[in-house]
Each structure stands twice: as C-alpha cells, then as structure tokens.
Structure 1
Amino acid sequence: MLGVGVTAVMVVMECLAVGLVTLTKAAMNKGMSNYVYVVYSTGFGTTFILLPATFIYYRKRGCRPLTASIICRIFFLALIGSCLQICSFAGIRYSSPVLGAVIADLTPAFAFILAIISR
C-alpha cells in the first residue's frame, strides 16, 4: 500500500513540474524578464514555504551560531542557485515547455554523475 502512495506523490510532483514550466513559458511569452521571474519565485518560496517551515519544524531546537563561514556558504549557494535559475528560464524562453519539462527529469541523472565524479 505504501508503494501506491509513493507513486501517486511522484505523479503529482511531475504534473506540478510540467505545470510550472508551462506557466513559466506563458509568462515569458507575455514579456516577463528572466530576472524578475527569479526574484518572484525566490520571494514566493521564502515567504510561503521556508518561513512557516522554520516555525513548525525547528521550534524545539536552539539556533546554531551564525559564523562567517556559514554566511559565505549561504551566499554562494544562493548565487549559484539564482544563476542556474536564470539560465534555466532563458532556456525555457527560447525552447518549448515540453523540452523544459523533460530536462527537469534529467536532474537526478546529473546529480548522480556529479556524485560519482566528486566521490
């Protein structure tokens, strides 16, 4: 019975991913900039997903000290993530939403290859 639930969640996530790519392509066709779309998606994710999650899941634990190393790591992860989103949205702008949805399915394969390379 657990396998059916996992499969259903995977199908729903794929449908949501295809919907997101289609919505992105529609916004790009209407004239929205890649940079504006990245700012909106990051703001939406931070406000409606990350902020409530911190109050729900991390309420019982104390905060770790914020060091310069952690701040640098957060900065570089945000920079790399934003650059990758901008490149992804530029690719969606110049291609079809079908190609964007298919490339999203290749992400686990790329992660596996990078994991093998970096050991």
Structure 2
Amino acid sequence: MTSEVANKAAKWDDTFNKGDTATLGGFYAPDALVIPAGGAPVKGPEAIGNFFKDLRANGFSDHKIAVDNVIENGDTLIASGKWQLNGPGENGASKQYGGNWVNVVKRNGSDFQILLHTWN
C-alpha cells in the first residue's frame, strides 16, 4: 500500500510543480480540509486548488513528498512523511522549507481522495 500512496504523492507533486492547481483540487474529496501550519482551514476542492494557486503565485515551487508510513483501516488510510518546497527567502534568495505531513485518505474505487491534509 505504501507504494500506491507514494505513486499518488508523486502525481500530486508533479501536478503542483506544473502549476495545474485546478487539477490539484481534484485530488481532494468534496468535503476535504487542508489545515496549513498556523493557518486557517481550507475546505473543498475548489478552495484547496486556489490555496495552492496562491502559493505558486507567491513563488513556491519544486514540491517533493516522501511517504514514510501508511496505516490502513478498511477504506481509510492515514499516510505520513516528509515534505520540502522551495520558496522566497530573505533579500530575494530562494529558501528551502520542509517538515512533516499527514493525510487521511479514503478509497474511491481504485483511486484515493484526500479527506484531510495537514503539515508543520
């Protein structure tokens, strides 16, 4: 199961890095929540796509996800790992950001949809 989640995470990275934030919203369930570190929750695929669109517009790119753990409970998965992202730093220099992430994911047929996405 970890390899399936890692493949989906790689597709998420590719979609974000291409700037296709409308498609990125499609990774999320209709009632999904993104809870950014220190930020207000964002609900629903369209709002989530717009959230990531704003990140891209503010100079964030080169997102990379590493999947470390996947816990399966029926049609629900809890996946976690590390993330990194390049973005603006001081004096216009590029800075690398990173931390831990957790997703609660549900099976949707042979695919997955994210219910909850949070990171620090």
Same fold (TM over 0.5): no
Of structures 1 and 2, the larger Rg is shown by 1
Structure number with the higher helix fraction is: 1
Relative to the length of structure 1, the TM-score reads: 0.32
Q: Which has the higher contact order (CA 8 A, sep 6+)?
A: 1
